[in-house]
Every structure is written in structure tokens, then in C-alpha cells.
Structure 1
Amino acid sequence: MTKKIETRLAIDIGGTFTDVVLDGPFGRVTRKVLTTVAQPEVGLMNGAKQLLATVNLDFSKVDVFIHGTTLATNAVLERKGAKTALIATAGFRDVLEVGSEGRYDQYDLQLTKPLPLIPRERRYTVAERIDAKGDVKLELDLAELAEIVNKLRKSLVESVAIAFLHSYANSEHERKAARFLAGQMPDLSITMSSDVCPEIREYERTSTAAANAYVKPLINGYLERMEAALTAAGFTGRLFLVTSGGGLTSIETAKRYPIRLVESGPAGGAIYAAQRARRLGDKRVVSFDMGGTTAKVCLIQDGEPVTANSFEVDRTHRFMKGSGLPLRIPAVELVEIGAGGGSIAGVDRLRRVTVGPQSAGSQPGPACYPGGGSGATVTDADLALGLLDPGAFAGGRVQLDPQAASRALDAAVGKKLGLSSKTAAFAITETVCESMASAVRVHAAERGEPIADYTMIAFGGAAPLHAAWVAEKVGIRKVVVPRNAGVGSAVGFLEAPISFELIRSKHVNLASVDPAEIGAFLDALAADTIALVKTEGAELVERCVAHMRYVGQGHEISVVLPDRSKPLTGTVLREWFEDLYGRLFTRFIPGAAIEVLSWSVTVSTTRKSVEPTALIWNIGEPSDAGVREVFDGTASKSIVVPAYNRSQMANGLTIRGPALIVEDETTTFITSRFSASIDGDGSIVMQRIAASEQAVETRNLNSAIHHQVLWNRLLALVEEQAQILIRTAFSPLVRACGDVSVGVFDLYGRMLAQAVTGTPGHVNTMAESVKHFLGRFPTTTMKPGDAYITNDPWLGTGHLNDFVVVTPCFHKDKCVALFACTSHLMDIGGLGAGTEAPDVFAEGLYIPLIKLIDAGTVNETLMAVIEANTRLPVDTIGDTYSLAACNDVGVRRLQETMTEFRLDDLSELADFILERSRQAVLKEIVSLPKGTWRNEMIVDGYNEPLTLRAALTINEDGIVVDFAGSAPAVIKGINVPLTYATAYTSFAISCAIADDIPNNAGSLSLLKVLAPEGCIVNARKPSPVGARHVIGQMLPDLVFGCLLQILPERIPAEGSSCMWNIALRGTFTVGERKGRNYSLTVTTSGGMGARFTKDGLSATAFPTGIQCMPIEIAETQIPFVFWRKELRIDSGGPGRTRGGLGQIIEVENADGTAFRLSAAFERVKNPARGRLGGENGGAGYVGLASGRPIAGKGLQTIEAGDRLVIHTPGGGGLGNPKERPAALIERDVFEGRLSQEAAARLYGHRDREAS
């Protein structure tokens, strides 16, 4: 019997268009209709009815209806969700707002963070507490919850998110609270964080729960209306929704987890690419989707899109990681960059061509469009190069204007760089292709995948035109351009399996694995997942993953468990983990302990794709659409290439590049290194021509363009290194906070590129360190596989806890560059990174400039010495390996780059980068007033206040900052080596005048920092420098005080400045770790100073930029309970713009025993000062719950049963407080940032009800 071919309808609702695809025994038909934004279900039904009518069907004949929607995404982006409240653990009201405490752009003083979906006035707390083990420390207070119910009713709240600390370990309190709320408010929509995201890390879990609660009423209402409309239309088939993870789910599950519908459209595109990969038989594919505004990249492995368990929405800077709201849900792992056909090109102050992220959109559109804009875009460049037919664009519906494109290219790029319009066009194309190639390369590197082994599938209007160029850059040898690419997401929906993934945290150390317990846990998790899939008659496939790491690391890798039939012993899990870890990070750490933090199970159906009716192809020679004159930028000349009409091409025909294949919706360009053919499914398949068959190319590329592309490559390369270092680190200050630096150097030790990721304390220090290495180990003595190390504070980065590793890069048997990286290790023996040591030798192990690895062989003697001199041997050795692996990645990437670009050395590129950077900074300096400006600051010091003085001189040749007159060095470890002082001084200058100019030897060469030897910011060896950050991080505010006098609109008021690191030490007294020492630094921040037109950021790290440690992570590592961590009312300095708020933190030892605090706090006695008439921020405070204040510096004991209480400082205000608008004062009072009493006392604001 012939099996019935089902009729399936797939609909993708986008922001502008709704794509409809109908598939059945009649073949496949598609349609685009306008989205009806106010009522999306109306456009959905209209589009479906129109398409069904074309094949004489109605809804009663549809067997399967598959739907993807941007409704959830748009609700978040446009803030059109429900009126939502949060109920959190007492003391943690501000988890959503404090977030990670980091800054996604280190140098932008004016940055804006994403606003929480739930405002502060609707964030409530209730007494309850569960610890990291899942044990109840404090029962849920239902009486308090009843009071919150009254507030919810009064505020007309529609939806609630419940997010209690450690609810992933024990959801009892969340479930009890949900039952109570449902009983009191039956119509209230309720989301539990333990249901939508049962994973450790309180910010991410709370953010996910808040987002689910925010969109739930909206999505549920829409789904109910859609169901009703479908039923009324006669639909009786099966209905599925597309999730962000690329699977299908039932409407009941979608109503429970509506946040899983976010980004379902892009997921459809990845499914479409995966389906093409399966038909082609390619196991490894990269999907490349380039439209009008963005380009998206996704890896496909074994026919399935690679997924991740987190992503961001509502970014304040769309393409900047960390600027959005985190969601911990399964999602197809897409990398998105601002590179589309409408992306606008220009020239920055380094005279580099830039493309995006700004886009001309469809209105006004590229300059060549009818009524288009004035800016030059990628489409204008493609037209000028001859790649587009001006009369046949979009099937002839849009007439392009080549002259308008040329005028725009001349104005935006050509005249500024002295290039012809065609060369300017090529520079734009090269730049955008390099950006996309970097995205592909980095995305693959994060997965440890050799991208050259992949096939590229290109779809979207602009991807086929650029795909071959991008493929060349990354070494891909096969590119496929499928048909039906214009509605790829909706077509992809037809191929998606019914699936769902659940993830739960359960900590397991591989040293004590109970296979039976783990098996039972996974069985239960699988059963819960199967219940959510709920499908009849379909075969189910189960995929289990363990999210694992070395004990002490902060980032997990996802290890697929390939065989659940065998017992999951520690040995088996270690084998699988080390295999993946070695592929991702080049080497694993022998003998290191391994743990699992969480486990996930995905259950999905298996369903064969239903092939559409085969196309009938013309037989014979292809129809020529003519010839086209195309400008070849590599040879700086025009060439004539054939242009073929795709619809007239026979399958199996081969075309040798260069050539064009044109169609209504896109154009494919075949470069000279590829040939192309049409396969039986109508896809264009481009294959790389063997090197022996390629014609010899004459390369006459404009040197400036060539060097710019390489510069961009170096910047992307070191950023990739930094991410590798963070992912493999053991030190919490690295893995959770980003306390790292990575750079590439020429053979003279000049820094060519440095990763933006990291702390400013390493800006100059690591660069100077490389020169010291070269003095001790000339490049003539280096060999491939060598690596060198030091932690000398005066030759390294300022204190013993920072290890610097330097690795030479060899190419064609000669050393061509050096890679360096540094990170903060938690313990290197001695008294540590505190204030108590009498000299540097008492602070820990002192490693001189020495070889760490000799031609690939690790110096085991040195490693044994390091291991024997630390309280945390596994962590310290692991971090040392991570530093070496980080440089190994850089070396490998640079070797690949030099081979690709046929480089013998980097000398010309180095001179180009450094001179361009120097000239850009010099231009800014020349525009500034000339003279000398002074400032001084009194800081707390150790036992007595210290004065810091700075004189900033600007002349035609650069800037000089002289710290003469600053206090002398002291006998405690708050002294600063000059390299560290220089680093933070450089950072301050860059923030103020050159925030968009990359750090390198050229941009930094115009600053000279002076300080008398022996003063506190130029301490002599062997002065103790363990806590050099205490004074060093005050220097940006000191320098800003000088710059304020000439740049008042750019400079903020003083902020908390110095990190408030809570350094806790003691001994485990119970459990399996009894008798072992612990040492943990919990990073926290105060408020930033007010800006000229903006309030200061609250609880935000400046100048360091490092992120805070999640409380849930901290509590798993040491026996402590943090009872409070929330914003500190009234701590922001009054002004026309207010200073950022500090925090209140309370912590105690859960073991009930004494512990020690290594205090190194500033701004306790001397608060952050206001500027331009603004007033001081709130001073910091360190004390005990019993009422006694304790010293801001020094090693102190907190007695058993007492709590440590910390108030981090607030930022200073800017401008006269009396000029602050009343509405802003009332908002602060209403949100609980400012008390009524303070509003009257500090602002003179009285007797007006906040609203």
C-alpha cells in the first residue's frame, strides 16, 4: 500500500513579512504576505488561505500545521509584555539589575545597560533560604507572602516570576509559593525559575524566569486566538510551535514555556541548512545567512544544528556580547554580526574602512535604490564592482542607479582614502567578507572544529554573492546555494523534529560517582522530557549531555554521553570529557579532578523528510544572461565574466569561475578559485579548484586595504584567545570575572593587538613584560613549541598572583611574532595578594624569567616547584596550562593567516598598524588645549590617609602625566609598581580621548608616565605590592580630575574606583573537605560616578570592568551563606545627575566557626567626590552584624556566629543637585533608590507624592 503523503503547512511570522510554505502530494508552493503586527493571527490566516486556494484546498485538508513566530522576541524588544512582578529571596531584590556588574565595553564612559523587564518597584522579597546543598536554612514565610499578594492586587500585576536562591537544588519553596499565589489569585500567571531554568547561577536563572513571566500572558492569549481561528476554519490536524532550539513542541508545552519561542525564525534557517546537509550527505556544514541587515552563522554537525544553552535578547548594542538580557534556554547557536546588504560603510579615525552595524534598511535603503539614502552600503559596493545587474535586481522590480552608488562610495570612502570608487567598493567588500570570515572562524574555534573540513550552505539575499569569498578566507572547499532560499526558515520548519530539552543541575565529582544513582537521575529526567514531547506512534530518540569542567573552573563544556547502556563510571566520564576538552583547547590537564554541574536530556522524534516534487530541468547549453564587467580588486583591474540565468541551467553542467549566476531574488558569484554546477535538487554547488589547476594570480591589492584586513584579523585572533583563556581558567577572577589580558607582538616586543576582553591593569604591563623576555631570551634562541613564564611584579603585571606566559610563533622555519597572555591566579603561597606582607618575598612564590616549555616539553621541575608552593595546587597548575594553551591557539591561528595571505613576516603590517594608531591618537591630542592641569586626591591608605597628586601636561607631541608629590611607598602591600600605574593612567586617557582606538604600541606611545622612584605609585623592589590594585585603581579618577578642567562634558564624577573584593579564608570543619583550607575572593563593586547627561551606573565595576562572582557559585565553593546582596539606598551622590548606588552585602560562615577576612577596601574614610557642584557618594563601610566596625584593610578574624556586613561606596554626583528634574527625584523615591528624607535633605524636594 502506498503511504499517504501528508499535507503540511509551515508559517514563519517575521517583523515585516509572514512566510508561508505548503507541502504535499502536489509539490511545494510558497508565498510572502505582510505581517499584521497588531493581530499576527490575522495575517497568518490570510496568508494560509491564499496559499491553500492556489492548490484548491482548505484547512480541513491540512494534516500538520507548523508555526514559528517573533511575537515573544518582539514583546521583549518593544517592552510590550505583561505587567510582571518578581518575588525573590529576602536580601536579593536586585539580582536582575545588578546582573554581572561588568561593563560590556571597557572604554565607553557613556554606556547604557539593558533595563530589567521588571522594574524595581515591582520586585518583592520574602523571607526564605535554601543553601547550595538544597537544605532549608530558613522556612518560607507565608505571612510575608500574603502581604505581597495585597501589593500585587493593588498594582494590577498580571504575571509573576518566582526566583529563590538555589531553587535548582530544591524547588520546595518555589512550589509552595506558587501554590499559595494560585490559591489567592487564580487568574495570575505564575512562572517558577526552578521550572524554566533549574540551573545554578542566580542572575541567569532569574532573568530567564522574568522573561518567561513577561511574555506568558501575551503568548498564551495569542495561541488561544490562533487555535480558535484554526478550528473555525476547519483545521483538525496536528499543531506544533517552533522553539529556539530548532525543534517542534505542542501548544500546551509552548504555553508553559513561551520563552522557548524566542528566536524561532533564525532557528528555522539553521534547520533548513541542516536539512540540505543531510540530503547532500555532508556531516559538517556551516550555514551562512546574509540578508539586508545582518549575517548569521551556524554550525551543523551530523545533520543537526549545534545548540547552546544560553543567549541574549534586547541588547543595547545589538552585536556586542554582554549588552543584553541573558536567557538560559536551549537555542540554536547562531553568531550574528552587523554585515548585510544594507550595512553602511565609512572610514574611522584610524583611516580604516568600516562596515556596519548601522544599516540603511529598506527605507531609505542603499544609495543606489530609487529614493535611497546618501550613505554607501555593501549593496552599493556590489553594484559598483559589477556584481549586480542594475536592471534586473529583485527580478527587475527595483531599478538600481550605478551613478548614485559611485557618488556615495566616493563620498564615504574614496575621497577620504584617495581611492577610486571601484577600489573603495572593493575595500568595502573585502572588509565585510573578512568580518564574516572572522565570525565563521571564531565560531568554529570555540567548538574546536577545523572549519576547512566544512561545507558552506549560503542563503538569504546577499549570501550567495559573497559566499565564495568568505569560503576562500576560511579554507572551505565546497559551497552550496540551495533553491527556495528566500523562505528558508519556513521551509526549515517542515523538516524540524518534535523535540524538547530539559536540563537540571546535579553536582557530581568523578572521584565519587555512583553509576546507579546517575542512571536513575537520567531516567527520571528522560521520563519528564518524554512527557513534554507527547507524540503518538513516532519513534523517539534520546540524547543525554553532561555539562562538565575541571574542579575549580567556572565554565562547563557539554559532553554528549554516546552510550547510556554502559554504567556511567568516573573512568568512562573522564575519558569522554578529556577527549572533547583536548579537541577544544589543544591539551587537557593530567590527573586534575573533574565534576559535572548539570545534565540535560533531549527527546525528539525521527521523521523522514517528505521530498517535494522534483523540478524539470532544461537540457542543453545554459542560457547566457550576457557578460558582465567586474572589477577585480586583487589585480586592480576590470575583467569580463559570463553571467548565466539560473532557471535555464541544466543539472550536471559545470561552470568555471569567475562567473555569475543570476536569478530573481539573488546573484551567486563564482570566484576564480571555484567551479560550479547544478545538482539534481536545483542547488548551485561550488567546488574549490585544485591548487595545481588554478591560474596564477597577479596580486596587486592596494596595500592599505590589505593591511587593514590583516589588522582586523589580528584583533579577532586575540579576542578568540581571550575567550579560550576565560573558558579554561580555574581562577574565579578569570573564569567568572575576566581578569585576563592577551596580545600579539612583533619581534621588537611592540604590541600589535590586544584583546578588548580583560582588565585595564594589563594594558601596558604585559607589553613591557614581553620586552624583558626578549632581553633575557633573544628570538635567535627560541624554538617552535617554546614558552616562557614569570610573575615578577616589576617585569610582569604588578604582583605575584599574575602569571605572564610568552610563546614564539614560527612560520616557514623562522620566528615571526610573539604571543603573550596573563591572568590572575588565586594562590601562589606566602601571605598572598593582601596587604599584610612586609616585602614582596613574603607575598608568595617569585618566578623569574624562565622557560616553561622547551620545544613542546613541559618543564616538570618548575611545575613541581609551583605545585609545592601553593595552597591550591590543582587550580594553580591548571591555570598555568590554560595560559600555555591560550598562546598555542594564537600561534596556530597566526600561522594559518600568514599562509592564507602569503606573508613571510609581519614587519610591514606592524609598521602600518603602529603608525596609523599613533597618528589617530596624535590627531586627538593636537585638538586639545595645551598646558598643564593638576589634581590631587586623598585616599584612606593603610593606617593613615595618603595624598596622590597628578600633573597632566598636553603638548604637540603627546601627553605627560607626572605623579610627583604623591605619598611615599608604605610598609604594607598597597604599593604600586610603575608599570601598573602606567596601565591605569593609559586607560584613563584612552577613555577620555581615544575610546575607539585599539591598544597597541603606537596608540600608547604618545603617553609618558612619570613618578619619583620610591613613591607609592613607583615602589622599589622589594616593596610589598600584593594589593597594588587598591591605589592603582584610584588613578583613573585622579587623572580624570585633570582632564575635567578641559573636557567637562566627557568626564564623570568620582566613583567607587577600587574593587571591593571580599577575600575569605578559613578551614573546612565538616564534610568530605574537613581539615582543608579554603581561600576565595568574591568580587563586588560600588557605584560609578555620575555622567554629564546620565546618572552613574549602580553596582558596576570601574575601572576594572570585571564581573562579579555569582553568589550561588561562591556558596558551592566555600561553607558560607550570603544573606544579602542588594542596592544601597541613598548611596548615590546627589547632583543634577546622580551617582550610581553601592551595595549592601551580608555574609556568615555556615559552619558556625570563625573565619578570616583579608580586607583591602578604599573609600571608607574618603568617599567618591562629586564634580561641577555635585556632592559626594556614600562612603564605604566594613563591620559586623553585632554592630562593631572593622578596619578597611588588613587580615582580620570574624568570630563564630557573627556576620560580616559590607556597604560598597556610591558614586559622586555631577552638577548642582537643585537642578535635578523633579520627575527623576520622584522616580528614584518610587523605585526605592532614594528615601523621602534624603530627597528633602539633599535635593530640597518635599511633600510631593512619587508616581
Structure 2
Amino acid sequence: MTLAKPLRIGVDIGGTFTDLVTVDSATGELSMSKSFTTPADRTDGVLEVLAEGGVSLGDVSQFVHGTTTATNAVVERKGGRVGLISTAGFRDTLEIMRINRERHYDLQWASPVPLVPRRLRFEATERVDYRGRVVTPLDTEALAATVAEMKAAAVESIAVCFLFSFMNPVHERQARDVISRVWPEVPVSISSEILPEIREYERSSTVVIDAYVKPVMGAYFENLETRLASGGMECGVTVISSGGGIVPVAEAKATPVRTLQSGPAGGVIGAAHLGAQSGYRNLLAIDVGGTSFEVSLIEDGVPSRTTEGFIEWGIPFKIPLVDVKSIGAGGGSIARVDPGGLIQVGPDSAGSEPGPVCYRKGGTLPTLTDAYVTIGLIDPAYFLGGRVELDAEAAREAISGQIAGPVGMTTTEAALGIVRVAEATMVGAMRIVSTQRGYDPRDYAMIAYGGAGPVSAVELARELGVGTVLVPRFPGAFCAFGGLCADIRFDFVRSYLRRMEELDLATLTTLSEELVAEGEAAMSRIGVTAPPMMQFTADVRYSGQNFEVNVPFPPGEVTEATIERVVDNFHGEHLRLFGHHKEDEALEFVSLRLAVIAATGKPEFTPPGPQGSAEAKGSRQLFSSSGQIIEAPVFDRSTLPVGWAHPGALIIEEPDSTVVVRGTNDSTAIDDLGNIVVSVAESG
């Protein structure tokens, strides 16, 4: 008898660290490892963290991967050389954008450089009208000559985006056939498959991003698969998608744009699962890693979702996303003094190379981590459980020379100022996803993860009026854990722009049936045989609005009652979001969406028994919430049993993170699942 392979593993590549979480299927035991990310070849970091965790690849039954590789390729402009083919007259859509500016009153502002330069943007003779009717057939002979020209220009991938192709994709499919005949080897992305919905600029940008990262992601995934297989792993790689599901690596290679924000999405899915298991279904999830701060809202156990994002201003994309607000305020975020004499933190980061000054890897600019070390929030001798000793004196010297001196502060005051500026920036991001969208943060608990998340979480919660902070086990590798909580998920969309009173119910029924058929085909393609769950939603707006509100859409045959439900759903959601609605205002139906979901097995939470004495292992001075210097006891998390509790300020250390409670009126406990739960007082 062949025994089932016992290990399920999640690997997440961040800007500073590559994280591993393993789950032993036989015992339920969880374990964690971390290693530095290796930007030159990120697969090196994956293999290093697997070795650090003692993983035998022959024992792996599931490998779930979250990665920022696609995002980094765009941010660093290290993607492929893309050629874009557009409808004649629309060559410059990427540069015209929305005819707006990032900063309206900055005379020195420069428009962002498109991912495809003008010399590599080509036009095709074709036209489809807004109803999907062919007005001008595609000139295939001219297109073949254009492809030959693109081949001579040494493009590495081709993006195709024709006007109104979301209504009728015939010309884009013909164009792909022509490209494949003239140049079979070149990767091709067509907008009617990547994003079959209205809005030409966003559709152009999204298909270009897909083509831009396709050579990079294809090479990365192939290298990863090869190295894992050579190490003895027999199961396939699955990848966390931007929408918070997992898909086989072949699907990720086919549409790599859907791996944007892969890692953060995994963390939010893990937070929703753990929160529900712990009795907290309404959560603000915060992830503070080495390069960024991410926050997301979870309502009744379901993460907020959106269909729009941007990597930087001027490079938008429209794909199904877990709604994560991200800012440059992580542990590696660089601190500086601006021309006005104020301390600024981020958005640029020291990353893993050269990293913060205290890493002793060549970094010279002070960071948030250097500030944490300087004021005692992190023990320099216990970083990564003592595997790496930080240079506290180098951190102090960098802050003293570059921050404290210019602003006329002591080194300690400057370090505290860096922390407070970073935390104020984080609070601002949290208000965007909560109060600015109609949610009261006082109605939510907070779950904090990422290596630096538990350091600041309690003070962030106090500022927002959040009464409870939850810190899971292995917070520094929680995004890797989250991938193991994700279901298989595919998302589909069709635009059908009509005023509500003009909707053709038969056409809408056909559209819904086509989406269901696509979803069933996708699941069948990857070997899922059980009937998946189908979730329909619709994008609706008031006539003349330039944005939509996504609302539930009843499944099945579309009837007048279906539309009445959608209208009621829209008015209710618009009222909740914006505080008003107009029932006599004309509405427009914009797009129909379908999420197709196959459930997967989720990790069980079995807290480990305590290892050693639960007594404090020492103490450190820190600044309390009220600004007083206090002596706080320091505990080792591995020694704290279920039911342990302690009042007042304290520090709890573990190899991948540090929990800091600065409030003398707060209280901390270990719950039944081994989570740290902090009850946050209004006044520290």
C-alpha cells in the first residue's frame, strides 16, 4: 500500500523575505521557515527556504505559491519587449489615458512612460461597432506584414486590443491566428480573453501588462517547476491568483496578469479563514512586510473585492482582485528629511538587498526597521530567532546622522518620530478601506501579520478605536499559510451595456449560460469533477455615472423579477456606500460577472503545547502609548500556553515577528487556537 504524501506547503516571495509554511496532513502540525529573497533569481530563495525548513520534496502533496514577481517586473521595468496592435486610430490610447494628471498643480509633473513605446505600437485596419457588428473586416494581409515588422523589431510578446472586441471578439481571434501563422513562437495576449469588458484604456493597459510579464513569468515558473521536479517533487505547482483563489501553474502562465498582488491576496484569504475559526468574522487585516503595508476589510467572513487596481499611477489594470490597499510603509521603508524639515517614511524601500542599515548587507539609508531596533521594539540579538544578529549601533548612527541631526532631535526622538510617521501613514490607509467606504472600524477586530505587523498593530487599533487585535501563529509567514486556505477559483465577465428598461432578458440569459459553460470548462480542464459553486454579480450604475457598484445577481433564467432584485440590491448598496440613492433615477446595466469556486481542504488549527516556562525571559524599556518610558516584560511565545493572560504593556517574541503592546491598560491572552489576542484600551 502506498501512503499518501503528508506535506502541504505554502511559499510566498516578498520584497525582503521568502516564507515557507508546512502542514503535516497526518498530524496537523504547522511549521515555518524564512530566508532572504534573492532578486537575481527568486527560485534560489525558494530552494533555500525549503532547505531551511528541512522539506523533502518527495513528501510534498501540495505546493501553493504566492509571488510578487509579476508586480516587480512592472515596477522595475524588467518585463518583456511588447508589441501592441490596436484598431487604426487608437495607437496612442496608452499615452492619452484619461486626459488627466496625477498631480494637477505640479508644473514639473511628467506623464508616465507607457510599457510599450510608440515605435512598437502598430495599427490594424478593422472596425467593430458598439453593438458588435463588423463595420470594416480585418485586413489580414496587412496584419501579416505588421507581424513580420514586429518580428524584425525583436519584440518578445504581442498584445492585441481592438475597439469593442468585448462585444465581438472575431477580429482579435483572427489576428491571433495570423500571428500564429506568421510567427508561431511568439506569446500572444488578446484583450477579449484577458478582459472582455467595456473601457478601452483600462482594457488596453491590462492586456499590455499581461503581455509584458508573460515572458518573465513563463521563464520563472518553468525554472521553478524544473528545479522542484529535479529535487523529487511530483505534485504540480499551484499559484495564488489576484482574486484570492488558487490555479494550476499552467493557468498562471497563460494569463500572468492575474498573479498581480498574489501574495497579499493569500494573506487576506488566510485571515478570513482563521478569523472565522476564532470567532471574528468582521476583520481589518493588516500585513506589514519588508517593503509595504497592506490592509483589507473582511465582512462576515468574506474579503472585500474589487475589479480595478494600479501598479503605479498611469498603469491601471482591471482584473478580479481581493481589495487590498497598499502603501510603501514596510519595515524596509526608507526614512528621510524632506526639504521642509519634516520626517518622511517611504514609499521607496531598501528591500532585501541592501536592506536596512542594521542588516549589515551594505545598506546606508535608515529605515523603519532601524528605528524599531533603536527604540527597543525589536531585539537585535533575536532577529529571525537569533539566526541573524542586527547591528543596533549602525542603525543608531544612520538615524543620528541623517535624521536626528538635520531636524535637531536626539537619536531616540528621531527614531520614535520615524515610527510615528509610518504609523500615521498606515492609519490613513486603514481609513480608506473602512470609514471612507461606509464601515465603522469600531465594529471590527484587527488581525495583524507580516514580520512588522504585530509591532505596530495595537497602536494602530487604538487610533481607530478597534478593541481587539488578533496575532496568528507564524505571523511573519502568514501569506504563505493563507495560500493553503484558498479555494480553486476562476472569474469571468461579460459587458452588456444597456439601460435597465432596455435589457433583453433572453440575451442576458444567454450571457449567463455562456459564463457558466466557461466556468465548467475551466474546472474540467484542470481535473475538477465535482460541481463547483457559482456566484453571479452585476455591475450597475446610475445613467451618466462613470463608476459602477457591484451587487448580487440571482442565478438561473433572467426574468423581470431578476432585474427587480438587481435594482433593489443596487439601491441598497449605493445607500450604504454613499449615504444616498435615487429610486426614480435611470439605471444602467454594465457587466455580468461569475465566480466559479471549487472548495479545497483547509488546515486545522491545533495549538502546540508550551515549550518551557511561561515566565518573562527579561525586560526592555519602551515608550508607552502615553509617551512615558516604561519597563516592559519580554516573553517567548513558544512558552505561552492556551489560557495564559497578562495585563499591561509587554513584548512577545517569536522567530518571525515581535508583538509589542505599549498600553499599560491593555491586556493580552492566548486563545484556544494559540492566537495572541490583545484587548485594546481606549487610552494606553
Settle same-fold status: TM greater than 0.5. Answer: yes
Letter of the structure 1 residue corresponding to residue 573 of structure 2: L
Contact 1:370/1:398 (CA < 8 Å) preserved in 2? no
1:668 to 659, 662, 666: 659
Equivalent residue in structure 1 for 2:508, among 499, 518, 521 = 518
Q: 2:646 aligns with which of 655, 658, 664?
A: 655
- When normalised by structure 2's length, the TM-score is 0.90
Separation in structure 1 between the aligned mates of residue 216 and residue 356 of structure 2, nearest angstrom: 36
1:548 and 2:550 aligned: no
Q: Cα deviation per residue 1:988-1020 (whole Å; 9 max; x = unaligned)?
A: xxxxxxxxxxxxxxxxxxxxxxxxxxxxxxxxx
Q: Which amino acid aligns with 2:301?
A: G
SS at match of 2:266: helix
Aligned to 1:388: 378
Name the CA shift for 1:348/1:666 in 2 (closer, same or farther; >3 Å).
Answer: same
Structure of larger gyration radius: 1
Matched residue, 1:682:
674
Aligned to 1:572, which of 552, 565, 577?
Answer: 565
* Separation (CA, whole Å) in 2 of partners of 1:184 and 1:100: 34
Counterpart in the other structure of 2:497: 507
Aligned to 1:493: 483
Provide the rounded CA distance (Å) in 1 between the counterparts of 2:494 and 2:218. 25
2:34 alignment partner, one of 24, 32, 35:
32
Counterparts in 2 of 1:515 and 1:478: CA distance versus 1, 3 Å: farther
Q: C-alpha displacement at 1:591, in angstroms?
A: 0.9
Q: Check the 8 A contact 1:18/1:32 in 2, yes or no.
A: yes
Q: CA deviation at 1:139?
A: 2.0
| Separation of aligned partners in 2, 1:605 and 1:682 | 29
1:594 aligns with 2:587: yes
Change (3 A) 1:478 1:521: same
CA distance in 2, matches of 1:419, 1:31: 39
Q: 2:635·2:652 contact (CA, 8 Å) conserved in 1? A: yes
Aligned to 2:321: 331
Query: How far apart in 2 are the matches of 1:13 and 1:413?
Result: 31
In structure 2, the partner of 1:481 is: 471
User: 2:431 matched to 1:441?
Assistant: yes
Cα 1:228/1:669, change in 2 over 3 Å: closer
1:345 partnered with 2:335: yes
Q: Following superposition of structure 1 onto structure 2, how do residues 596-745 of structure 1 map, counting pairs within 5 Å?
A: 596-611=589-604, 614-617=607-610, 622-632=614-624, 634-635=626-627, 637-670=628-661, 671-689=663-681
C-alpha separation between the residues in 2 aligned to 1:261 and 1:390?
35
Tell me the alpha carbon deviations over residues 809-859 of structure 1, each in whole angstroms, 9 at most, x when there is no partner: xxxxxxxxxxxxxxxxxxxxxxxxxxxxxxxxxxxxxxxxxxxxxxxxxxx
Q: Does 1:10 align with 2:1?
A: no
Counterpart residue number, 1:190: 188
Q: Report the counterpart of residue 83 of structure 1 in structure 2.
A: 81
1:174-213 paired onto structure 2 within 5 Å: 174-213=172-211
One-letter amino acid matched to 1:67:
H
Give the letter for the 2:614 counterpart.
P
State the Cα RMSD in Å.
Answer: 3.0
Question: Could you give the per-residue CA deviations for residues 444-498 of structure 1, whole angstroms, max 9, x where no partner exists?
Answer: 2353222221111111222111101100111111111111122222211111111
Task: Out of 578-587 and 253-262, give the one that drifted further.
Answer: 253-262
Q: Distance in 1 between matches of 2:267 and 2:171?
A: 40
Indicate which of 153, 159, 164 corresponds to 2:157: 159
Measure the CA separation in 2 of the matches of 1:327 and 1:481.
Answer: 32
CA distance in 2, matches of 1:131, 1:91: 14
Q: CA deviation at 1:333?
A: 1.9
Q: Is the 8 A contact 1:249 1:533 kept in 2?
A: no
Q: Is residue 554–residue 562 contact of structure 2 (8 Å, CA) maintained in 1? A: no
Contact kept, 8 Å, 2:509 with 2:558, in 1: the verdict is no
Choose from 275, 284, 289 the match for 1:291: 289
Distance 2:398 2:131 in 1: 63
Distance 1:226 1:402 in 2: 36
How many pairs align? Answer: 676
Q: Matches of 2:357 and 2:39 in 1, distance apart? A: 28
Equivalences for residues 841-1240 of structure 1 within 5 A: none
Q: Alpha-carbon deviations, 1:685-731, whole Å to 9, x = none? A: 11234x6xx7xx7xxxxxxxxxxxxxxxxxxxxxxxxxxxxxxxxxx
Find 1:102's aligned residue among 100, 103, 108. Answer: 100
Residue aligned with 1:341, SS: coil
Distance change in 2, residues 1:356/1:255 (3 Å): closer
Q: C-alpha separation between the residues in 1 aligned to 2:63 and 2:510?
A: 36
Contact 2:284–2:296, Cα closer than 8 Å, also in 1: yes
Given that 1:18 and 1:44 are in contact with CA atoms closer than 8 Å, whether structure 2 keeps it comes out as yes
Contact 1:13 1:35 in 2 (8 A): yes
> How far is the alpha carbon of 1:404 from its aligned partner?
5.5
Paired AA for residue 607 in structure 1: T
TM-score (norm 1): 0.51
Q: Give the Å deviation of 1:48.
A: 4.5
Specify which of 133, 136, 140 is matched with residue 135 of structure 1.
133
| CA shift for structure 1 position 654 | 1.6
Q: Secondary structure at the residue paired with 2:609?
A: coil
Where relative contact order (Cα < 8 A, 6+ residues apart) is larger, the structure is: 2
- Find the counterpart in structure 2 of residue 470 from structure 1: 460
Contact 1:386 1:631 in 2 (8 A): no
Distance 2:230 2:344 in 1: 53
State the shift of 1:352 in Å: 3.8
Aligned residue number for residue 921 of structure 1: none
> What is aligned with 2:518?
528
- Between the aligned partners of 1:169 and 1:594, the Cα distance in structure 2 is 20
CA distance 1:336–1:15, shift in 2 (3 Å): closer
Q: Which amino acid aligns with 1:630?
A: L
- SS at structure 1 position matched to 2:434: helix
Cα distance, 1:679 vs. partner? 1.6
Q: Take 1:565 and 1:343, find their aligned partners in 2: how far apart are those partners?
A: 52
Asked whether the 8 Å contact 1:253–1:532 carries over to 2, the reply is: no
8 A Cα contact 2:288 2:449, kept in partner: yes
- Which residue type is aligned with residue 568 of structure 2? E
- Give distance in 1, aligned partners of 2:154 and 2:394: 55
User: What is the percent sequence identity of the aligned residues?
Assistant: 37
Contact 1:338-1:356 within 8 A present in 2 as well: yes
SS across alignment from 1:624:
coil
Residues 232-255 of structure 1: per-residue CA shift (max 9 Å, x gap) = 555443542221222111233223
d(CA) in 2 for partners of 1:386, 1:36: 28
C-alpha deviation, 1:408, in angstroms: 4.9
Matched residue, 1:304: 302
What is the CA–CA distance in structure 1 between the aligned matches of 2:506 and 2:94, rounded to whole Å? 38
1:1144 maps to: none
Distance 1:420 1:512 in 2: 69
Distance 1:239 1:585, change over 3 A: same
**C-alpha distance in 1, partners of 2:237/2:354?**
39
- In the alignment, the residues of structure 1 paired with residue 519 and residue 298 of structure 2 have an alpha-carbon distance, to the nearest angstrom, of 24
Contact 1:510 1:573 in 2 (8 A): no
Unaligned runs of 5+ residues in structure 1 are 316-322, 698-1251
Letter in 1 for 2:294: K
- Name the amino acid aligned to 2:273: Q
In structure 1, distance between residues paired with 2:50 and 2:472 = 24
Question: Aligned with 2:172: secondary structure?
Answer: helix
**1:248 & 1:156 partners in 2: Cα distance?**
34
**Contact 1:159–1:217, Cα closer than 8 Å, also in 2:** yes
Aligned-partner Cα distance in 1 for 2:40–2:397: 40
Q: Contact 2:400–2:410 (CA<8 Å) still a contact in 1?
A: yes
Cα deviation, residue 507, structure 1 = 1.4
